Amino acid sequence: MSLAAALAAEALRVQALLDRLAAIGADPPGITRHAFDARENAAHALAASEAARLGLEVARDAACNLYLTWPGADRAAPRTLLGSHFDSVRHGGNFDGAAGVVAALAAVAALRAVGFVPRADITVAAFRCEEAVWFGLGLIGSRAALGILPPDALDRRRADTGLTLAEHIAGCGGDPGAIRPGARLLPPGPVRCFLEAHIEQAPSLIEAGVPLAVATGIPGNIRHAAIRIAGEDAHVGLPRRFRRDAALAGAEIFTALDAMWAEEDAAGRAMAVTIGRFHTDPARHEITVVAGDFTFSIDLRAYDAPHLAWLERRFHEVLDEVAARRGVAIDPGPRNAAPVGPCDAALRASLATAAARMGVATLPLGSPASHDAANFAATGIPTGLLLIRNANGSHNPREAMDTADLMAAAATFAEWLRAEA
């Protein structure tokens, strides 16, 4: 049987797996697979049962990440790791994260069907809690696996349950005490590279009519979840020169950052700035009140570290300028950061070659979003990322990926593994 025929035979099983994952997460409208909770556990159990069917070794680390290993002929040789995550945002889609684990498993299944024998171990990983919505910090499982989880993360509380990350990890059978900076939880032995497939969270591939992109890099980000502007509540009759209007200060910051983005765009320097929260206090601020209090969030992202550092400096300059001009005080609050993740040039080339050999068209594309892959790249492990065509974006119930496009990613992984692993 050819690899293409084996992949074609695998497509029905992949569809069934995606349907079962949708059933696990069903939370109309959309899908919710809470991190470190019953639904994420159920998705991990489903992947482990698939691995048992394929004869893979099943292991879990102290952070409850799942590792499904196909032993190679030389068990000491550097392993290839592939994977992504199963958790979702609230009322999100079925494919953000899950597609990557399923594609990697499908590649392994097809290679087993054609009698391939790997030279080194191939491990499919499912990392916990990639989404930042649960604990206000994203990529938690992969950070823990690489020993780069910030030390205070274990004390963070999940927004809805009020339980700490440590309590959630223990509740899933993990060992929070073993999660420490510098303590790698990955399966033992050297890692040759990390490969991830993930749905694209923008419509670039839809626009281009191409099923797959080989990512050029993963943006790092700087985040402040709650920036407080303190001015002074006042009567609507107060003349302009006396006002310390926190809402106008917020608006001025927003437009200044958007102007900065437009300049960077025009200069061809890829970045993004997103203000998600942007509000006065509705309990205090009425139609006749000048708002003396304003809160907003920010996510700044860029593809190389010096550029991101420059953007962060510019952001703080904007805050200082606006604070001085408007007579307000601005407290940026806690800062979170994720490192930039450059994709490995040799892997980019070999993934594109593998796709072409399987008749899959690809284009190079900067990943619009951060992914577990970024942590591997940031810790010096050669990293490759495939982006799968997906309509309607992500983190919403309308997410829409064709299974055929997921199989294009599986075919690319399978051919890459056949040639390289």
Query: Which residues make up the interface to Zn ion (CB under 5 A)?
Result: 96-97
Beta carbons within 10 angstroms of residue 286's beta carbon: 10
Choose between 43 and 330: whose C-beta lies nearer to Zn ion.
43
| Minimum CB distance to Zn ion smaller for 336 or for 353 | 336
Contact present, 376 and 146 (Cβ < 8 Å): yes
Q: How far is the CB of 369 from Zn ion (least distance, A)?
A: 7
The answer to whether the beta carbons of residues 130 and 369 sit under 8 Å apart is no
Residue 375's alpha-carbon distances to 143, 151, 160, 209, 371, in angstroms, are: 6, 16, 26, 30, 8
Residue number, 97 or 231, with CB nearest to Zn ion:
97
Nearer to Zn ion, 122 or 373 (CB): 373
In whole angstroms, the minimum distance from the beta carbon of 218 to Zn ion comes to 11
We find the least distance from the C-beta atom of residue 130 to Zn ion, in angstroms, to be 5
- Nearest 5°: phi and psi at 26? -50, 120
Minimum gap (Å) between residue 394 Cβ and Zn ion: 7
Q: From the CB of 88, what's the least distance to Zn ion, in Å?
A: 8
Cβ proximity to Zn ion: between 70 and 376 the closer is 376
Nearer to Zn ion, 96 or 344 (CB): 96
Largest CA distance in the chain: 81
Q: How far is the CB of 20 from Zn ion (least distance, A)?
A: 19
Closest by Cα among 338, 394, 334 to 100 = 394
Comparing CB distances to Zn ion, the nearer of 48 and 387 is 387
Phi-psi category of 363—alpha, beta or left, where left has phi over 0 and alpha has psi -120 to 50? beta
Task: For Zn ion, give the closer residue by CB, 50 or 200.
Answer: 200
> CB of 89: closest distance to Zn ion in angstroms?
9
CB of 323 to Zn ion, least distance (A): 35
Structure tokens, 85: 């995550």
CA–CA dist 200, 210 (Å, integer): 12
Of residues 97 and 220, the one with the C-beta less far from Zn ion: 97
**Token code pair at residue 401:** 């990926």
Structure tokens at 189: 């032995």
Q: How far is the CB of 25 from Zn ion (least distance, A)?
A: 13
**Beta carbons within 8 Å of 347's beta carbon, 6+ residues apart:** 193, 195, 382, 383, 384
CA–CA separation, 142 vs 63, rounded Å? 9
Alpha carbon of 342 to those of 45, 57, 196: distances in Å?
Answer: 32, 30, 13
Give the residue nearest to Zn ion (CB).
Answer: 97
CA angle 45, 22, 209 (to 5 degrees): 120
Cβ partners under 8 Å of residue 239, min gap 6: none
